[in-house]
Amino acid sequence: MLLELKNIRKHFGGVAALRDGNLCVEPGQVHLLLGENGAGKSTLMKIVAGMIDPDGGKIIWRGQKVQFRKPAEAAANGIAMVHQESLLAPHLSVAENVFLGRELCNPFGWVRRRRMQQETARLIEEHRFPLRAEWRVENLSPAGKQMVEICRAICHGSSLLIFDEPTSSLSEAETHEVFRIVRGLRERKMGVIYITHRLEELRAVGDRVTILRDGETVHSGALEELPTERIIQLMVGREVTAIYRREPLPPGDVLLQVENINRAPLLHDISLKLRAGEIVGLAGLVGAGRTEFCHTVFGLDPMDSGRILVAGREVQIRSPRDAVRAGIALIPEDRQKTGLATLLPTGYNLTMANLKSVSRFGFLSGAKERRVARTYMDRLRIKADSPKQLAGRLSGGNQQKVAIAKWVARGARVLLFDEPTRGIDVGAKVEVFQVMDELARAGAAILMVSSELPELLQVADRILVMRQGRITGELPGRTTQEEIMSLAALEHSSGRTEENSR
Amino acid sequence: MIQRLLPFVTLALLFIGLSIASPHFLTNTNLSSVIRQTAVINIMALGMTLIIVAGGIDLSVGAILAFGGLTGTMAMAAGQPIVAGVAIGIIAGMFWGCLNGLLTTRLRINPFIVTLGTLGIIRGITLIISNGLPVHNVPQAFSYLGEGLLLGVPFVLWILLACALAVHITLEHTRLGRYTFAIGSNPDAAYYSGIPVSFHTTAVYAIGGMLTGLAGMIEASRLMTGQPTAGQGYELQAIAAVVIGGGSLRGGEGSVIGTLIGAFIMGLLSNGSDLLGISPYVQQAIIGAVIILAVSVDELRKRKMTA
């Protein structure tokens, strides 16, 4: 046994990321680690790689109990991780990156560039990497960068390689290249842990599979014995906890109509309608183009072709400003980066999108501004000491409410929510849902992008599913996670859906 | 709170200390001269405050000051009335500020680099049109701007107060000011909120240029010449005044009161050193140390706040 993880636990603040993580990897084996977003896969792997300390449990490496306190320790023991986002020095060459941190030097401290290049070239040839030792890393594709990381791991004599969703940003050809190399590693008797979201690629590389759900290992075994349907069930199989259930109301007029939006290579021929009073879910895997769709409608990214109509009238949207004028709002995925000015007072943030209504001839009216701030703090039940409190000091849920409130104050009628519950705790989630429901009842049309399927099922009246830049289907609000997953993840989606609904 | 008041307390202590240490400090002539010396930097620093709050920086203000002063005095030398000359200096400043703003927002080049470039361009053009020679032929009455008295106080103090009030109101009580804070604090969030970021950023640079043009006319009036080499190194003094007064080069922070205090602290330090016979070499070192001290104290305060 190469690596054994037993009962690993980890809490972040009050949230349990891992309750009971178990995993065994043998040399010469590709071990798939599966689970929904937030199931704890990345946390578990970061613990193995020494990036996070576990709260409890045992890590047994080559038969000995270990605890790596930093990534360098794990690396020295032969564990390497290939990250989703590359951790390379972009301005250095492939060879320099492969030897980064352990440069070959002569006794005077001179770096032996030639030796390093030759050494790297040898490795590249041996494994048939599509690389050259002298290339600069910044010019490489994401796949190329991953190859460099793999090369580095092999060069350092690693015996366990962890891939965290290596193919999520790769083309099909590049994906096959990664598979070929992973199989090569297996032949060399290295251990591989492979995290993926793409169910269709499981069989191409995997030997054994471990499935995590809500921080617990729910299944571990050989891949052959497990049909894909069963894997989906195991991944999402928990009862949908009925903390919140929205009662849909009869939808009103069409507020947002999107016709045949294209944006190469991310979005293909997307059409949808949002009606007043409706909350429509938009599901899909990471990289399916959901965020890109929101950005395009909101004017952040240009579209190649297509039409956008708001309340029946065609609008030209070239910037967020145009979108805001048309009554469209985006509550972005990353609150801290794009949703709020965290270093400014809450009150400033509440009126940021709507300063004209609290000013005359360019001069702000302090009294009016305070009144608006108070009104929306009350209406959305934002808990802050005063409008003067810095937005960044509020809790995650309250920050999200501020990011919503600024659009309500502006009177936006089409609201695009991108992952509205990201990084906020369970109680606050329900409050955000209630706010969304109230907005819909007040006549807004809402699109909710979420990777949390249970939440979509709780909140959305109907659910659109995207896969690789296309809308692959529409499901009623009371559908199942399995149906969504099969539309979102599987190549021949239509056939699967029929099977499941039977 | 105490740390927030620190710049003010420093200024007060410096003032009291100098009053005790030197009998010449608390005299009408000396205080007037401190005000006249600081006014030029102070007015530039007011514009710089807006720019820094918006998350930008302008290294070209020293050159803009020279260009404004030169074109204004050239107009007067060519027979234009004084008011028109001053207006020309201000408009010239605004033009360059506008250009800086347009270059940073349209080409999306870092303002440090844009204004480093325009610093050279503007200085070069100033030297070319003047042939490197100062303009001496200005009307006698022009000296009132920099050296005159109104109600027993230097006329420049009134100008400074008027500018300070105007910039303070702009920053704290207008939409432009609020957008300035929003853009400086988080340009993405501002853009996502539908704020016309490029327009307001450019406006901020233009106002900065206007104030610099005015400062250039005051400088010219004090020297009674239009000097193409005027204002060298002033940009760093203006930036120093803003950061001593609590402005952050990361943007989103800064105030008119703070900048005024910052500029006066620097003015008193140099005046005090003169009075106490400290060599100008040592003065430079002292001011440099004060900049680092002031900013590190401010950083400590902020870190405590976020912890």
The predicted structure's pLDDT at residue B138: 85
- B13, two tokens: 């202590």
The predicted structure's pLDDT at residue A501: 37
Nearest one of B104, B72, B101 to B214, comparing CA atoms: B72
CB contact A359 to B (< 8 Å): yes
pLDDT digits (tens, 9 = 90+) for A188-239: 888 999 987 667 677 888 889 999 888 889 889 888 888 877 887 787 765 4
Name the phi and psi angles at A203, rounded to 5.
Answer: -70, -20
pLDDT digits (tens, 9 = 90+) for A328-358: 999 998 888 898 998 899 999 999 998 888 8
- B126, two tokens: 């100033």
- Distance between CA atoms of A232 and A209, rounded to whole angstroms? 13
Q: Which pLDDT band holds residue A425 (cuts at 50, 70, 90)?
A: low
Q: Determine the residue of chain A that is closest to B176 in CA distance.
A: A362
Residues of B in contact with A359 (CB under 8 A): 174-175
> For the residues of A118-182, what is the DSSP string, one character each?
HHHHHHHHHHT-S--TTSBGGGS-HHHHHHHHHHHHHHTT-SEEEEESTTTT--HHHHHHHHHHH
- Distance between CA atoms of A234 and B199, rounded to whole angstroms? 54
> Is B188 in contact with A338 (Cβ distance < 8 A)?
yes
Out of B175, B185, B194, closest to residue A341 by CB: B185
The predicted structure's pLDDT at residue A483: 82
Nearest one of A401, A413, A104, A145 to A256, comparing CA atoms: A413
| Cβ neighbours for A435, distance < 8 A, ≥ 6 positions apart | A380, A401, A404
Q: Which pLDDT band holds residue B104 (cuts at 50, 70, 90)?
A: very high
CB contact B238 to A (< 8 Å): no
Helices and strands (H, E) in chain B, number of each type: 13, 2
Mean pLDDT in residue range B152-170 = 93
- Whether the pLDDT of residue A426 is over 80: the answer is no
Given CA atoms A215, A221, A222, A223 in this order, what sign does their dihedral have?
negative
CB contact A363 to B (< 8 Å): yes
The predicted structure's pLDDT at residue A498: 37
User: If you ran DSSP here, which 8-state letter would residue A412 be given?
Assistant: -
Out of B176, B185, B195, closest to residue A343 by CB: B185
The predicted structure's pLDDT at residue B60: 95
Which has more confidence, A477 or A497? A477
- Distance between CA atoms of A145 and A81, rounded to whole angstroms? 13
Indicate the angle between helix axes B82-106 and B61-77, nearest 10 degrees: 150
Out of A323, A325, A338, closest to residue B189 by CB: A338
Mean pLDDT in residue range A129-136 = 87
Nearest one of A366, A406, A405 to B174, comparing CA atoms: A366
CB contact B279 to A (< 8 Å): no
Question: CB neighbours (10 Å) of residue A371?
Answer: 12
- Distance between CA atoms of A55 and A18, rounded to whole angstroms? 9
Best B169, B170, B180, B186 member to test A by mutation, with max A CBs in 10 Å, is B186
> Is A338 in contact with B178 (Cβ distance < 8 A)?
no
Q: Determine the residue of chain B that is closest to A409 in CA distance.
A: B193
> Is A320 in contact with B196 (Cβ distance < 8 A)?
no
Q: Give the Å distances, CA to CA, from B83 to B33, B65, B207, B231.
A: 24, 17, 19, 22
Q: Determine the residue of chain B that is closest to A298 in CA distance.
A: B192
- Distance between CA atoms of A198 and A490, rounded to whole angstroms? 8
Maximum average pLDDT range among A19-28, A370-379, B56-65: B56-65
- Distance between CA atoms of A376 and A32, rounded to whole angstroms? 47
The predicted structure's pLDDT at residue A440: 92
pLDDT digits (tens, 9 = 90+) for B223-233: 999 899 999 98
> Is A323 in contact with B188 (Cβ distance < 8 A)?
no
Q: Which pLDDT band holds residue B273 (cuts at 50, 70, 90)?
A: confident
Residues of B in contact with A344 (CB under 8 A): 181-182, 185-186, 252
CB pairs under 8 A between A and B: 77
- Distance between CA atoms of A146 and A169, rounded to whole angstroms? 11
Mean pLDDT in residue range B200-210 = 96
Question: CB neighbours (10 Å) of residue B194?
Answer: 25
Helices and strands (H, E) in chain A, number of each type: 17, 22
Terminal CA-CA length for chain B: 16
The predicted structure's pLDDT at residue A15: 66
Whether a cis peptide bond, with omega within 30° of 0, leads into B187 is no
Interface of B with A in 10-69 (CB under 8 A): none
- Distance between CA atoms of B84 and B73, rounded to whole angstroms? 10
The predicted structure's pLDDT at residue A104: 80
How close does chain A come to B172, measured CA to CA in Å?
8
- Whether the pLDDT of residue B77 is over 70: the answer is yes
The predicted structure's pLDDT at residue A152: 85
How close does chain A come to B57, measured CA to CA in Å?
20
pLDDT digits (tens, 9 = 90+) for A135-162: 888 888 777 888 888 888 888 888 899 9
Cβ-contact B237, B266 below 8 angstroms: yes
CB contact A388 to B (< 8 Å): no
Out of B178, B181, B194, closest to residue A324 by CB: B194
| One-letter amino acid of A233 | Q
Which has more confidence, A72 or B234? B234
Best A352, A356, A388, A407 member to test B by mutation, with max B CBs in 10 Å, is A352
Average pLDDT value for chain A = 85
pLDDT digits (tens, 9 = 90+) for A75-116: 888 888 887 666 788 888 898 888 887 788 778 878 888 888
Q: Which pLDDT band holds residue A285 (cuts at 50, 70, 90)?
A: confident
A223 exposed, middle or buried (CB, 10 Å; 0-12, 13-18, 19+)?
A: middle
Name the phi and psi angles at A294, rounded to 5.
Answer: -60, -45
Half-sphere exposure (Cβ direction) of A185: Cα atoms closer than 13 Å: 34
pLDDT digits (tens, 9 = 90+) for A381-407: 888 888 888 888 887 788 999 999 999
A1-78+159-238 and A254-501 in the same fold: yes
| Cβ neighbours for B169, distance < 8 A, ≥ 6 positions apart | B177
As a whole-number percent, the residues of chain B with pLDDT over 70 amount to: 97
Cβ-contact B68, B216 below 8 angstroms: yes
Name the phi and psi angles at B153, rounded to 5.
Answer: -120, 145
pLDDT digits (tens, 9 = 90+) for A365-374: 888 999 999 9
Question: CB neighbours (10 Å) of residue B71?
Answer: 26
* Per-domain residue ranges of chain A: 1-78+159-238, 87-157, 254-501
> Is A366 in contact with B252 (Cβ distance < 8 A)?
no
Name the phi and psi angles at A265, rounded to 5.
Answer: -100, 20
CB contact B302 to A (< 8 Å): no
| One-letter amino acid of B290 | V
The predicted structure's pLDDT at residue A500: 38
Residue A462, beta-bridge partner list: A280, A476
How does strand A359-360 pair with strand A29-34? unpaired
Which domains, ranges and CATH numbers included, belong to chain B? 6-306 (1.10.3470)
Please give the CATH number for the structural domain made up of A254-501.
Answer: 3.40.50.300
The predicted structure's pLDDT at residue A239: 46
Mean pLDDT in residue range A56-65 = 90
The predicted structure's pLDDT at residue A455: 84
Cβ-contact A497, A486 below 8 angstroms: yes
Residues of B in contact with A295 (CB under 8 A): none
> Is B182 in contact with A356 (Cβ distance < 8 A)?
no
A1-78+159-238: CATH topology is Rossmann fold (3.40.50)
Q: Determine the residue of chain B that is closest to A406 in CA distance.
A: B193
Cβ-contact A414, A328 below 8 angstroms: yes
Average pLDDT value for chain B = 90
- Whether the pLDDT of residue A436 is over 80: the answer is yes
The predicted structure's pLDDT at residue B307: 43
Nearest one of A233, A142, A204, A167 to A468, comparing CA atoms: A167
Q: Which pLDDT band holds residue A240 (cuts at 50, 70, 90)?
A: very low
Name the phi and psi angles at A215, rounded to 5.
Answer: 80, 5
ipTM: 0.81
The predicted structure's pLDDT at residue A404: 93
> Is B173 in contact with A364 (Cβ distance < 8 A)?
yes
The predicted structure's pLDDT at residue A496: 38
Half-sphere exposure (Cβ direction) of A43: Cα atoms closer than 13 Å: 28
CB contact B253 to A (< 8 Å): yes
Mean pLDDT in residue range A58-66 = 90
Mean pLDDT in residue range B62-78 = 94
Residues of B in contact with A324 (CB under 8 A): 193-194
pLDDT digits (tens, 9 = 90+) for A312-326: 999 999 999 999 999
The predicted structure's pLDDT at residue A332: 92
The predicted structure's pLDDT at residue A235: 79
Half-sphere exposure (Cβ direction) of B120: Cα atoms closer than 13 Å: 5
Which has more confidence, B70 or B291? B70
User: What are the DSSP E strand ranges found in A358-499?
Assistant: 359-360, 363-364, 414-418, 445-449, 462-467, 470-476
Residue that has been written with the tokens 């922070």 in this structure: B253
> Is B186 in contact with A340 (Cβ distance < 8 A)?
yes
Q: Determine the residue of chain B that is closest to A325 in CA distance.
A: B194
Interface of B with A in 76-115 (CB under 8 A): none
- Whether the pLDDT of residue A128 is over 90: the answer is no
The predicted structure's pLDDT at residue A499: 36
CB contact B193 to A (< 8 Å): yes
Residues of B in contact with A343 (CB under 8 A): 185-186, 252-253
The predicted structure's pLDDT at residue A74: 87
